[in-house]
Protein backbone atom coordinates (compact mmCIF):
# COMPACT_ATOMS: atom_id res chain seq x y z
CA UNK A 1 0.00 0.00 0.00
CA UNK A 2 1.20 3.56 -0.71
CA UNK A 3 -0.08 6.99 0.28
CA UNK A 4 -0.21 9.70 -2.40
CA UNK A 5 -0.94 13.23 -1.20
CA UNK A 6 -1.86 15.91 -3.72
CA UNK A 7 -1.63 19.55 -2.62
CA UNK A 8 -3.77 22.51 -3.68
CA UNK A 9 -1.96 23.28 -6.92
CA UNK A 10 -2.09 19.61 -7.96
CA UNK A 11 -5.90 19.78 -7.78
CA UNK A 12 -6.36 23.45 -8.70
CA UNK A 13 -8.52 22.96 -11.81
CA UNK A 14 -9.75 20.31 -14.24
CA UNK A 15 -6.43 20.13 -16.09
CA UNK A 16 -4.47 19.58 -12.88
CA UNK A 17 -6.97 17.03 -11.58
CA UNK A 18 -6.86 15.10 -14.85
CA UNK A 19 -3.06 14.97 -14.58
CA UNK A 20 -3.30 13.89 -10.95
CA UNK A 21 -5.72 11.10 -11.79
CA UNK A 22 -3.43 9.79 -14.49
CA UNK A 23 -0.57 9.69 -11.96
CA UNK A 24 -2.77 7.66 -9.59
CA UNK A 25 -3.80 5.38 -12.45
CA UNK A 26 -0.18 4.46 -13.02
CA UNK A 27 0.12 3.16 -9.44
CA UNK A 28 -3.05 1.12 -8.94
CA UNK A 29 -1.10 -2.10 -8.48
CA UNK A 30 0.37 -0.57 -5.29
CA UNK A 31 -3.08 0.09 -3.75
CA UNK A 32 -2.89 3.87 -3.39
CA UNK A 33 -4.59 5.80 -0.61
CA UNK A 34 -5.08 9.22 -2.19
CA UNK A 35 -5.10 12.18 0.21
CA UNK A 36 -6.24 15.49 -1.26
CA UNK A 37 -6.07 19.10 -0.16
CA UNK A 38 -8.65 21.75 -0.97
CA UNK A 39 -8.39 23.31 -4.44
CA UNK A 40 -5.69 25.96 -4.52
CA UNK A 41 -6.72 29.13 -2.56
CA UNK A 42 -9.98 27.60 -1.31
CA UNK A 43 -8.82 27.32 2.32
CA UNK A 44 -7.85 31.01 2.19
CA UNK A 45 -11.35 31.77 0.92
CA UNK A 46 -12.90 29.79 3.78
CA UNK A 47 -10.79 31.71 6.31
CA UNK A 48 -12.09 34.92 4.76
CA UNK A 49 -15.68 33.67 5.01
CA UNK A 50 -15.13 32.81 8.69
CA UNK A 51 -13.65 36.26 9.41
CA UNK A 52 -16.44 38.09 7.60
CA UNK A 53 -19.04 36.05 9.49
CA UNK A 54 -17.37 36.89 12.80
CA UNK A 55 -17.69 40.59 11.90
CA UNK A 56 -21.36 40.02 11.00
CA UNK A 57 -20.72 41.06 7.42
CA UNK A 58 -23.52 38.92 6.02
CA UNK A 59 -23.60 40.43 2.53
CA UNK A 60 -19.87 39.79 2.02
CA UNK A 61 -20.14 36.20 3.28
CA UNK A 62 -22.92 35.60 0.75
CA UNK A 63 -20.76 36.85 -2.11
CA UNK A 64 -17.83 34.64 -1.01
CA UNK A 65 -20.04 31.58 -0.43
CA UNK A 66 -21.50 31.99 -3.91
CA UNK A 67 -17.94 32.08 -5.33
CA UNK A 68 -17.10 28.90 -3.45
CA UNK A 69 -20.15 27.05 -4.79
CA UNK A 70 -19.69 28.34 -8.35
CA UNK A 71 -16.01 27.33 -8.52
CA UNK A 72 -16.74 23.76 -7.44
CA UNK A 73 -19.89 23.33 -9.51
CA UNK A 74 -18.09 24.70 -12.56
CA UNK A 75 -15.23 22.28 -11.99
CA UNK A 76 -17.57 19.28 -11.62
CA UNK A 77 -19.25 20.15 -14.93
CA UNK A 78 -15.90 20.57 -16.69
CA UNK A 79 -14.49 17.30 -15.38
CA UNK A 80 -17.59 15.15 -15.65
CA UNK A 81 -19.44 16.46 -18.70
CA UNK A 82 -19.31 13.03 -20.37
CA UNK A 83 -20.63 11.25 -17.25
CA UNK A 84 -24.05 12.65 -16.36
CA UNK A 85 -24.73 10.33 -13.41
CA UNK A 86 -21.35 11.05 -11.77
CA UNK A 87 -21.74 14.75 -12.53
CA UNK A 88 -25.14 14.74 -10.81
CA UNK A 89 -23.64 12.85 -7.86
CA UNK A 90 -20.79 15.36 -7.51
CA UNK A 91 -23.11 18.37 -7.86
CA UNK A 92 -25.51 16.96 -5.26
CA UNK A 93 -22.58 16.57 -2.84
CA UNK A 94 -21.35 20.09 -3.55
CA UNK A 95 -24.85 21.45 -2.92
CA UNK A 96 -25.26 19.56 0.30
CA UNK A 97 -21.84 20.68 1.64
CA UNK A 98 -22.43 24.29 0.55
CA UNK A 99 -26.02 24.38 1.91
CA UNK A 100 -24.87 23.15 5.30
CA UNK A 101 -21.94 25.59 5.32
CA UNK A 102 -24.21 28.48 4.37
CA UNK A 103 -26.59 27.85 7.23
CA UNK A 104 -23.65 27.45 9.64
CA UNK A 105 -22.07 30.71 8.45
CA UNK A 106 -25.50 32.40 8.67
CA UNK A 107 -25.73 31.36 12.32
CA UNK A 108 -22.21 32.70 13.04
CA UNK A 109 -23.22 36.00 11.37
CA UNK A 110 -26.31 36.22 13.60
CA UNK A 111 -24.42 35.80 16.85
CA UNK A 112 -21.28 37.62 15.62
CA UNK A 113 -18.99 35.32 17.54
CA UNK A 114 -16.57 32.77 16.11
CA UNK A 115 -15.03 30.18 18.39
CA UNK A 116 -12.06 28.08 17.26
CA UNK A 117 -14.47 25.17 17.26
CA UNK A 118 -16.77 26.86 14.72
CA UNK A 119 -13.81 28.04 12.66
CA UNK A 120 -12.53 24.46 12.34
CA UNK A 121 -15.93 23.42 10.96
CA UNK A 122 -15.84 26.19 8.33
CA UNK A 123 -12.24 25.87 7.11
CA UNK A 124 -12.33 22.07 6.70
CA UNK A 125 -14.97 22.24 3.97
CA UNK A 126 -12.49 22.78 1.13
CA UNK A 127 -11.14 19.25 1.50
CA UNK A 128 -14.66 17.76 1.53
CA UNK A 129 -15.56 19.64 -1.65
CA UNK A 130 -12.37 18.65 -3.50
CA UNK A 131 -12.37 15.01 -2.39
CA UNK A 132 -15.97 14.43 -3.45
CA UNK A 133 -15.41 15.88 -6.91
CA UNK A 134 -12.10 14.03 -7.40
CA UNK A 135 -13.66 10.78 -6.19
CA UNK A 136 -16.31 11.06 -8.93
CA UNK A 137 -13.64 12.04 -11.49
CA UNK A 138 -11.54 8.99 -10.54
CA UNK A 139 -14.60 6.77 -11.03
CA UNK A 140 -15.28 8.49 -14.37
CA UNK A 141 -11.75 7.65 -15.47
CA UNK A 142 -12.44 3.97 -14.74
CA UNK A 143 -10.71 3.65 -11.37
CA UNK A 144 -12.79 1.69 -8.87
CA UNK A 145 -12.56 4.14 -5.99
CA UNK A 146 -13.53 3.88 -2.32
CA UNK A 147 -14.12 6.97 -0.16
CA UNK A 148 -13.22 7.57 3.48
CA UNK A 149 -14.15 10.51 5.67
CA UNK A 150 -10.77 11.39 7.23
CA UNK A 151 -12.53 12.54 10.40
CA UNK A 152 -13.26 8.88 11.15
CA UNK A 153 -9.48 8.15 11.05
CA UNK A 154 -7.49 11.15 12.32
CA UNK A 155 -8.21 11.60 16.01
CA UNK A 156 -6.83 14.69 17.79
CA UNK A 157 -7.18 16.53 21.06
CA UNK A 158 -9.57 19.47 21.22
CA UNK A 159 -7.12 22.13 20.08
CA UNK A 160 -9.54 22.80 17.23
CA UNK A 161 -7.31 24.69 14.80
CA UNK A 162 -4.11 22.72 15.33
CA UNK A 163 -5.18 19.38 16.70
CA UNK A 164 -2.56 17.17 18.27
CA UNK A 165 -3.01 13.69 16.79
CA UNK A 166 -3.46 10.67 19.02
CA UNK A 167 -1.08 8.31 17.19
CA UNK A 168 -2.08 5.23 19.19
CA UNK A 169 -5.79 5.67 18.44
CA UNK A 170 -5.06 6.46 14.79
CA UNK A 171 -2.97 3.30 14.45
CA UNK A 172 -5.76 1.33 16.05
CA UNK A 173 -8.54 2.71 13.85
CA UNK A 174 -7.09 3.28 10.39
CA UNK A 175 -6.18 -0.23 9.15
CA UNK A 176 -9.73 -1.59 9.51
CA UNK A 177 -11.32 1.53 7.97
CA UNK A 178 -8.89 1.45 5.03
CA UNK A 179 -9.27 -2.25 4.37
CA UNK A 180 -13.07 -1.92 4.40
CA UNK A 181 -12.89 1.00 1.95
CA UNK A 182 -10.63 -1.02 -0.38
CA UNK A 183 -13.18 -3.84 -0.55
CA UNK A 184 -13.66 -4.37 -4.30
CA UNK A 185 -11.83 -1.09 -5.08
CA UNK A 186 -8.48 -0.25 -6.69
CA UNK A 187 -7.83 3.01 -4.83
CA UNK A 188 -9.35 4.98 -1.99
CA UNK A 189 -9.59 8.72 -1.56
CA UNK A 190 -9.75 10.80 1.61
CA UNK A 191 -9.21 14.35 2.80
CA UNK A 192 -6.03 15.89 4.14
CA UNK A 193 -6.07 18.56 6.87
CA UNK A 194 -9.34 17.57 8.59
CA UNK A 195 -9.52 15.60 11.81
CA UNK A 196 -11.84 15.15 14.80
CA UNK A 197 -11.74 14.68 18.54
CA UNK A 198 -12.48 11.28 20.00
CA UNK A 199 -16.09 12.39 20.47
CA UNK A 200 -16.30 13.39 16.80
CA UNK A 201 -16.03 17.17 17.07
CA UNK A 202 -14.37 18.59 13.94
CA UNK A 203 -10.79 19.81 14.25
CA UNK A 204 -8.02 20.54 11.70
CA UNK A 205 -4.27 19.89 11.74
CA UNK A 206 -3.15 23.48 11.05
CA UNK A 207 -2.25 25.22 7.78
CA UNK A 208 -0.55 22.95 5.30
CA UNK A 209 -1.68 19.96 7.40
CA UNK A 210 -2.52 17.61 4.51
CA UNK A 211 1.11 16.45 4.39
CA UNK A 212 0.77 15.50 8.05
CA UNK A 213 -2.49 13.62 7.35
CA UNK A 214 -0.73 11.61 4.64
CA UNK A 215 2.11 10.69 6.93
CA UNK A 216 -0.20 9.71 9.82
CA UNK A 217 -2.19 7.46 7.49
CA UNK A 218 1.02 6.04 6.02
CA UNK A 219 2.26 5.21 9.51
CA UNK A 220 -1.02 3.57 10.50
CA UNK A 221 -1.16 1.28 7.44
CA UNK A 222 2.61 0.62 7.37
CA UNK A 223 2.75 2.09 3.88
CA UNK A 224 5.58 1.13 1.57
CA UNK A 225 6.15 4.82 0.93
CA UNK A 226 4.47 8.21 1.19
CA UNK A 227 4.41 10.43 -1.88
CA UNK A 228 3.90 14.17 -1.48
CA UNK A 229 2.91 15.53 -4.89
CA UNK A 230 3.30 19.28 -5.20
CA UNK A 231 4.25 22.04 -7.66
CA UNK A 232 8.06 21.85 -7.50
CA UNK A 233 10.56 19.15 -8.58
CA UNK A 234 11.22 18.01 -5.02
CA UNK A 235 12.92 19.61 -2.06
CA UNK A 236 15.33 22.31 -3.22
CA UNK A 237 18.39 24.02 -1.80
CA UNK A 238 16.15 27.00 -0.94
CA UNK A 239 12.63 28.27 -1.64
CA UNK A 240 12.64 28.83 -5.41
CA UNK A 241 10.19 31.69 -4.96
CA UNK A 242 12.81 33.62 -3.05
CA UNK A 243 16.13 32.47 -4.49
CA UNK A 244 17.37 32.01 -8.06
CA UNK A 245 19.49 29.03 -9.14
CA UNK A 246 18.23 26.61 -6.50
CA UNK A 247 18.94 22.92 -7.08
CA UNK A 248 16.77 19.92 -6.46
CA UNK A 249 18.13 17.68 -3.68
CA UNK A 250 18.19 14.03 -4.71
CA UNK A 251 17.96 12.65 -1.17
CA UNK A 252 17.97 13.98 2.36
CA UNK A 253 17.62 12.43 5.78
CA UNK A 254 14.46 12.46 7.91
CA UNK A 255 16.28 14.75 10.36
CA UNK A 256 17.36 17.23 7.69
CA UNK A 257 13.86 17.35 6.19
CA UNK A 258 12.30 17.82 9.64
CA UNK A 259 14.67 20.71 10.42
CA UNK A 260 14.05 22.32 7.02
CA UNK A 261 10.29 22.11 7.44
CA UNK A 262 10.39 23.26 11.04
CA UNK A 263 12.61 26.19 10.12
CA UNK A 264 10.40 27.50 7.37
CA UNK A 265 10.56 25.41 4.16
CA UNK A 266 6.89 25.40 3.22
CA UNK A 267 7.28 22.39 0.93
CA UNK A 268 6.45 20.08 3.88
CA UNK A 269 4.30 20.60 6.98
CA UNK A 270 6.76 20.61 9.92
CA UNK A 271 5.28 17.52 11.58
CA UNK A 272 5.14 15.35 8.46
CA UNK A 273 8.38 13.53 9.13
CA UNK A 274 7.76 12.22 12.65
CA UNK A 275 5.14 9.52 11.93
CA UNK A 276 7.19 8.28 8.96
CA UNK A 277 10.41 8.05 10.98
CA UNK A 278 8.72 5.89 13.59
CA UNK A 279 8.07 3.24 10.98
CA UNK A 280 11.03 4.08 8.73
CA UNK A 281 8.75 4.81 5.77
CA UNK A 282 10.45 6.72 2.94
CA UNK A 283 8.81 9.96 1.82
CA UNK A 284 9.14 11.18 -1.78
CA UNK A 285 8.47 14.79 -2.75
CA UNK A 286 7.38 14.88 -6.40
CA UNK A 287 6.09 17.34 -8.97
CA UNK A 288 2.60 16.61 -10.31
CA UNK A 289 3.36 18.86 -13.28
CA UNK A 290 6.43 16.79 -14.11
CA UNK A 291 5.54 13.25 -13.02
CA UNK A 292 8.53 11.74 -14.83
CA UNK A 293 10.95 13.53 -12.48
CA UNK A 294 12.62 11.60 -9.70
CA UNK A 295 11.92 14.22 -7.01
CA UNK A 296 13.52 14.03 -3.58
CA UNK A 297 13.73 10.93 -1.42
CA UNK A 298 13.61 11.47 2.35
CA UNK A 299 15.31 8.49 3.94
CA UNK A 300 17.06 7.16 7.02
CA UNK A 301 20.20 9.10 7.85
CA UNK A 302 22.56 6.18 7.11
CA UNK A 303 21.77 6.56 3.37
CA UNK A 304 22.62 10.26 3.35
CA UNK A 305 25.99 12.00 2.94
CA UNK A 306 27.18 14.72 5.30
CA UNK A 307 27.10 18.32 4.12
CA UNK A 308 25.01 21.43 3.63
CA UNK A 309 21.67 20.67 1.99
CA UNK A 310 19.63 23.85 2.13
CA UNK A 311 18.96 27.35 3.40
CA UNK A 312 15.54 27.85 4.99
CA UNK A 313 14.00 30.92 6.53
CA UNK A 314 11.09 32.15 8.57
CA UNK A 315 10.20 35.57 7.29
CA UNK A 316 8.25 36.90 10.26
CA UNK A 317 9.35 36.08 13.76
CA UNK A 318 9.40 37.78 17.15
CA UNK A 319 12.48 37.88 19.33
CA UNK A 320 11.33 37.91 22.95
CA UNK A 321 14.02 39.26 25.28
CA UNK A 322 13.51 38.48 28.94
CA UNK A 323 15.62 40.42 31.46
CA UNK A 324 15.75 39.59 35.14
CA UNK A 325 18.89 40.45 37.05
CA UNK A 326 17.56 38.93 40.25
CA UNK A 327 16.47 35.59 39.06
CA UNK A 328 18.42 34.35 36.10
CA UNK A 329 20.90 32.38 38.16
CA UNK A 330 18.40 30.87 40.55
CA UNK A 331 17.51 27.29 39.92
CA UNK A 332 14.11 26.75 38.39
CA UNK A 333 14.02 30.11 36.57
CA UNK A 334 14.27 28.63 33.08
CA UNK A 335 11.68 26.03 34.02
CA UNK A 336 9.28 28.76 35.09
CA UNK A 337 9.85 30.70 31.84
CA UNK A 338 9.33 27.72 29.55
CA UNK A 339 6.30 26.49 31.46
CA UNK A 340 4.68 29.79 30.56
CA UNK A 341 5.40 29.18 26.87
CA UNK A 342 4.05 25.67 27.15
CA UNK A 343 0.85 26.67 29.02
CA UNK A 344 0.14 29.22 26.29
CA UNK A 345 0.95 26.71 23.53
CA UNK A 346 3.56 29.04 22.03
CA UNK A 347 6.38 27.07 20.48
CA UNK A 348 9.93 28.37 20.72
CA UNK A 349 12.50 28.00 17.92
CA UNK A 350 15.84 29.45 19.03
CA UNK A 351 17.10 30.19 22.52
CA UNK A 352 20.16 32.05 23.74
CA UNK A 353 21.02 33.09 27.26
CA UNK A 354 23.44 35.38 29.05
CA UNK A 355 23.78 36.11 32.72
CA UNK A 356 20.75 38.37 32.99
CA UNK A 357 18.91 37.75 29.77
CA UNK A 358 17.14 35.04 27.82
CA UNK A 359 16.27 35.64 24.18
CA UNK A 360 13.94 33.33 22.32
CA UNK A 361 12.46 33.42 18.84
CA UNK A 362 8.88 32.45 18.07
CA UNK A 363 6.92 32.40 14.84
CA UNK A 364 4.93 35.64 14.54
CA UNK A 365 1.79 33.74 13.54
CA UNK A 366 1.43 32.76 17.21
CA UNK A 367 -0.43 34.87 19.76
CA UNK A 368 2.17 35.86 22.36
CA UNK A 369 0.04 38.25 24.44
CA UNK A 370 -0.54 35.65 27.18
CA UNK A 371 3.16 34.78 27.36
CA UNK A 372 4.30 38.40 27.50
CA UNK A 373 1.69 39.21 30.17
CA UNK A 374 2.75 36.37 32.44
CA UNK A 375 6.52 36.93 31.96
CA UNK A 376 6.11 40.63 32.72
CA UNK A 377 4.90 39.72 36.21
CA UNK A 378 8.49 38.90 37.22
CA UNK A 379 10.81 40.13 34.42
CA UNK A 380 11.30 42.97 31.96
CA UNK A 381 10.21 41.84 28.54
CA UNK A 382 11.03 43.46 25.20
CA UNK A 383 9.60 42.05 22.01
CA UNK A 384 11.43 42.80 18.75
CA UNK A 385 9.20 42.43 15.73
CA UNK A 386 10.04 42.59 12.02
CA UNK A 387 12.81 40.05 12.39
CA UNK A 388 13.53 36.99 10.25
CA UNK A 389 15.33 33.76 10.96
CA UNK A 390 17.68 32.05 8.51
CA UNK A 391 18.80 28.43 8.92
CA UNK A 392 21.57 26.55 7.15
CA UNK A 393 20.74 22.86 7.28
CA UNK A 394 22.73 19.70 6.60
CA UNK A 395 23.82 16.47 8.22
CA UNK A 396 26.81 16.84 10.54
CA UNK A 397 27.50 20.38 9.42
CA UNK A 398 29.43 20.82 12.64
CA UNK A 399 32.19 18.75 11.01
CA UNK A 400 32.47 21.03 7.99
CA UNK A 401 35.56 23.11 8.26
CA UNK A 402 34.84 26.80 8.30
CA UNK A 403 31.09 26.53 7.76
CA UNK A 404 30.36 29.42 10.14
CA UNK A 405 32.95 31.55 8.35
CA UNK A 406 31.46 30.62 4.98
CA UNK A 407 27.91 31.26 6.12
CA UNK A 408 28.68 34.67 7.50
CA UNK A 409 31.33 35.69 4.94
CA UNK A 410 28.84 37.34 2.55
CA UNK A 411 27.10 39.15 5.43
CA UNK A 412 29.79 41.49 6.62
CA UNK A 413 27.59 44.58 6.83
CA UNK A 414 24.53 42.83 8.15
CA UNK A 415 23.36 43.12 11.76
CA UNK A 416 22.93 39.66 13.31
CA UNK A 417 20.76 39.59 16.45
CA UNK A 418 21.05 35.97 17.56
CA UNK A 419 22.99 32.88 16.50
CA UNK A 420 22.20 29.32 17.47
CA UNK A 421 23.92 26.13 16.47
CA UNK A 422 21.58 23.28 17.28
CA UNK A 423 22.78 20.42 19.42
CA UNK A 424 21.60 18.12 16.63
CA UNK A 425 24.54 19.21 14.41
CA UNK A 426 22.02 19.63 11.60
CA UNK A 427 21.30 23.32 11.81
CA UNK A 428 22.91 26.73 12.23
CA UNK A 429 20.35 29.51 12.59
CA UNK A 430 20.59 33.27 12.96
CA UNK A 431 18.29 36.28 13.17
CA UNK A 432 18.37 39.36 10.92
CA UNK A 433 16.12 42.34 10.18
CA UNK A 434 13.17 41.39 8.05
CA UNK A 435 14.01 44.18 5.62
CA UNK A 436 17.28 42.45 4.60
CA UNK A 437 16.00 38.87 4.57
CA UNK A 438 15.75 38.38 0.80
CA UNK A 439 19.22 39.71 0.28
CA UNK A 440 20.69 37.60 3.09
CA UNK A 441 19.11 34.35 1.92
CA UNK A 442 20.24 34.93 -1.66
CA UNK A 443 23.78 35.79 -0.63
CA UNK A 444 24.16 32.85 1.74
CA UNK A 445 22.69 30.47 -0.85
CA UNK A 446 24.95 31.84 -3.54
CA UNK A 447 28.02 31.54 -1.38
CA UNK A 448 27.27 28.00 -0.16
CA UNK A 449 25.85 26.47 -3.32
CA UNK A 450 27.20 28.44 -6.25
CA UNK A 451 30.74 28.94 -5.03
CA UNK A 452 32.90 26.07 -6.22
CA UNK A 453 35.39 26.44 -3.37
CA UNK A 454 32.58 25.80 -0.88
CA UNK A 455 31.28 22.57 -2.33
P1 LIG B 1 1.07 22.13 -1.76
O2 LIG B 1 -0.13 22.98 -2.04
O3 LIG B 1 1.33 21.11 -2.82
O4 LIG B 1 1.06 21.55 -0.38
P5 LIG B 1 2.89 24.20 -0.89
O6 LIG B 1 2.66 25.54 -1.50
O7 LIG B 1 2.40 23.97 0.50
O8 LIG B 1 2.31 23.11 -1.89
O9 LIG B 1 4.45 23.81 -0.93
C10 LIG B 1 5.16 23.91 -2.13
C11 LIG B 1 5.93 25.23 -2.17
O12 LIG B 1 6.92 25.21 -1.14
C13 LIG B 1 6.73 25.43 -3.43
O14 LIG B 1 5.95 26.02 -4.45
C15 LIG B 1 7.88 26.34 -2.96
O16 LIG B 1 7.67 27.67 -3.30
C17 LIG B 1 7.84 26.24 -1.44
N18 LIG B 1 9.16 25.91 -0.88
C19 LIG B 1 9.72 26.53 0.19
N20 LIG B 1 10.92 26.06 0.45
C21 LIG B 1 11.18 25.08 -0.45
C22 LIG B 1 12.26 24.20 -0.69
N23 LIG B 1 13.37 24.22 0.05
N24 LIG B 1 12.16 23.33 -1.70
C25 LIG B 1 11.07 23.28 -2.46
N26 LIG B 1 9.99 24.10 -2.31
C27 LIG B 1 10.04 24.99 -1.31
N1 LIG C 1 -5.95 23.16 2.60
C2 LIG C 1 -5.16 23.32 3.80
C3 LIG C 1 -4.36 24.62 3.74
O4 LIG C 1 -4.43 25.32 2.74
C5 LIG C 1 -4.26 22.14 4.07
C6 LIG C 1 -3.20 21.86 3.02
O7 LIG C 1 -3.28 22.37 1.89
O8 LIG C 1 -2.29 21.11 3.32
O9 LIG C 1 -3.71 24.96 4.68
MG1 LIG D 1 1.57 22.33 1.54
CA of 125 to the centre of ligand 2 (A): 11
CA of 264 to the centre of ligand 1 (A): 10
Predicted local distance difference test score (pLDDT) of residue 334: 85
Strands 194-197, 202-204: pairing is antiparallel
* Cβ of 394 below 6 Å from ligand 2: no
Q: How far apart are CA 2 and CA 223, in angstroms?
A: 5
- Which CATH number does 2-231 carry? 3.40.1160.10
* Cβ of 235 below 6 Å from ligand 1: yes
Predicted local distance difference test score (pLDDT) of residue 397: 84
* Cβ of 240 below 6 Å from ligand 1: yes
Domain extents in the chain? 2-231, 309-454
What secondary structure does DSSP assign to 174-240, as a single string? Answer: HHHHHHHHTTT-SEEEEESSEEEETT--EEE--TTTHHHHHHHHHHHTT-SEEEEEESSSSSBSS-T
Fold of 309-454: VC0802-like (3.30.2130)
Q: How far apart are CA 36 and CA 23, in angstroms?
A: 13
> Which atom of ligand 1 is nearest to 40's Cα?
2
Q: How far apart are CA 203 and CA 393, in angstroms?
A: 32
* Cβ of 6 below 6 Å from ligand 2: no
CA of 172 to the centre of ligand 1 (A): 32
* Cβ of 97 below 6 Å from ligand 1: no
Predicted local distance difference test score (pLDDT) of residue 329: 64
Give the residues of the chain that fall short of pLDDT 70: 326-329, 422-424, 452-455
* Cβ of 391 below 6 Å from ligand 2: no
CA 145 to chain centre: 26
Predicted local distance difference test score (pLDDT) of residue 328: 62
CA of 120 to the centre of ligand 2 (A): 12
Q: How far apart are CA 148 and CA 144, in angstroms?
A: 14
Which strands make up the sheet holding 348-353, listed edge to edge?
348-353, 357-363, 307-323, 380-395, 427-433, 418-421
Cα 122–Cα 124–Cα 125 angle in degrees, nearest 5: 75
Which strands make up the sheet holding 202-204, listed edge to edge?
155-156, 194-197, 202-204
Give the number of the ligand closest to the Cα of residue 129: 2
* Cβ of 7 below 6 Å from ligand 1: yes
> Which atom of ligand 1 is nearest to 8's Cα?
2
Residue 128, φ and ψ in degrees, nearest 5: -70, -40
Q: Give the environment of ion ligand 3: residues with CB less than 5 A.
A: 7, 208
Q: Which of 39, 245, 248, 266 to mutate to test the pocket of ligand 1 (most atoms within 8 A of CB)?
A: 266
Residue 57 CB contacts under 8 Å (≥ 6 apart), including other chains = 109
**Whole-prediction pTM:** 0.93
CA diameter of the chain = 76
Amino acid sequence: MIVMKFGGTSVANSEAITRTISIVKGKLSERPIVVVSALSKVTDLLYKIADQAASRNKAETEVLLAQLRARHTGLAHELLSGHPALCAEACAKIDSICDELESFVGAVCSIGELSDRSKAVIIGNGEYLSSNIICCAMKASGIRTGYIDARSMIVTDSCYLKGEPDSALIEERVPAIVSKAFDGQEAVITQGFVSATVTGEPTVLGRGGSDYSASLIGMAVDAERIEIWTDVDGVRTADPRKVENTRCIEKISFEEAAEMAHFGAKVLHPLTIEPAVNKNIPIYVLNSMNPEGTGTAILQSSFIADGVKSVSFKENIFVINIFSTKMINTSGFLKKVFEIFSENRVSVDLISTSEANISVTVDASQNIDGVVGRLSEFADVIVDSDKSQVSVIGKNIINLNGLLRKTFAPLQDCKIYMISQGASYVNISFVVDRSVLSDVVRQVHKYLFENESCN
